[in-house]
Amino acid sequence: MEKLITLLELIGAWILFGAPLFQSVTELYEELEKREKLVTVINQNHTDQAIKKVSFWWWLFPPIKIALEKKKLRQIKKMTNHQLSEETKEALHRLSLKANGWAGVSLGGWLVAVSTTWEFVQSDHDALRKWFFLVFLGSYISIFLIFKTFRHKK
């Protein structure tokens, strides 16, 4: 029974990582979508300012993908801020804050999942190898589900 309870904790911890990660990505793409509409108009008039898309394959390395998307978003903000009303800027800023907040919750969930994974395997033979495998598996299952959901996006 104790192993079952530990398994349930393990599953719950990985859900506490995956769900906020999904929400963070949803908020990030919502802001990007709104800003990219403005960039499309700008690019039609000024092709020298075109912003490159970030490959979705960077999701294989999530911190790099998020950093590249944020860099792209900063470039877009520089191009579009002067064309936005204060209300629109504020609304987009709130979206950005939500995405950052969910990313923080997701990081916290990942740390809990990593520690819970250790508790699950610590008494097993070859615990360290099992721990690395389960952390890798849990992380990339969450990322794959996001990849599957958002693959049609930029």
Answer whether residue 89 is part of any domain.
yes
Answer whether residue 50 is part of any domain.
no
CA distance 96 to 147: 20
User: pLDDT tens digits, residue range 47-66?
Assistant: 556 677 788 778 777 778 77
Parent domain of 114: 2-36+55-150
Say how many residues make up the chain.
154
- Give the percent of the chain with pLDDT over 70: 91
Answer whether residue 46 is part of any domain.
no
Asked whether residue 112 carries a pLDDT value surpassing 90, the answer given is yes
User: pLDDT tens digits, residue range 16-39?
Assistant: 999 998 898 888 888 778 777 776
CA distance 47 to 39: 10
Answer whether residue 41 is part of any domain.
no
pLDDT at 152: 64
Tokens representing 1?
């029974």
**Greater pLDDT, 96 or 11:** 11
pTM over the 0.95 mark:
no
User: pLDDT tens digits, residue range 85-109?
Assistant: 788 778 878 888 888 888 889 889 9
Answer whether residue 48 is part of any domain.
no
CA distance 81 to 101: 22
Residue by residue, what is the 3-state secondary structure of the chain? CHHHHHHHHHHHHHHHHHHHHHHHHHHHHHHHHHHHHHHHHHHHHCHHHCCCCCCHHHHHCHHHHHHHHHHHHHHHHHHHHHHCCHHHHHHHHHHHHHHHHHHHHHHHHHHHHHHHHHHHHCCCCCHHHHHHHHHHHHHHHHHHHHHHHHCCCC
The tally of domains found in the chain comes to: 1
Answer whether residue 64 is part of any domain.
yes
Answer whether residue 42 is part of any domain.
no
Asked whether residue 6 carries a pLDDT value surpassing 80, the answer given is yes
Answer whether residue 71 is part of any domain.
yes
